[in-house]
Amino acid sequence: MPTYEYLCKACGHEWEQEQSIKARPIRECPKCHQEKAQRQIPSRTGFVLRGKYWARDGYGPAKPPPI
């Protein structure tokens, strides 16, 4: 289940919320209880490719080098 970042435009409270992709964004701030919360664009990603055949741009070599 993905984790979303939220920011309340009324009081400035920031928090993370684990939600289903199908769930509607939260509108009520858990701190001030106003309907001013907005889902934020994530500042970081949790998806990292590691291994000797992955390049930074997501494309590896056409075929692995012979051993």
**In the chain, what are the domain boundaries?**
3-39
Higher pLDDT among residues 66 and 64, named by residue: 66
pLDDT of residue 13: 96
pLDDT at 62 over 70: no
pLDDT digit string, tens, across residues 2-51: 889 999 999 999 999 999 989 999 999 999 999 999 999 876 666 666 66
User: Can you say how many angstroms the Cα of residue 57 is from the centroid of all Cα atoms in its chain?
Assistant: 19
Helix ranges, 10-62 (H): none
Where are the strands (E) in the chain, listed by range?
3-8, 14-18, 37-39
Q: Which two tokens stand for residue 36?
A: 């001013």
pLDDT of residue 55: 59
pTM: 0.61
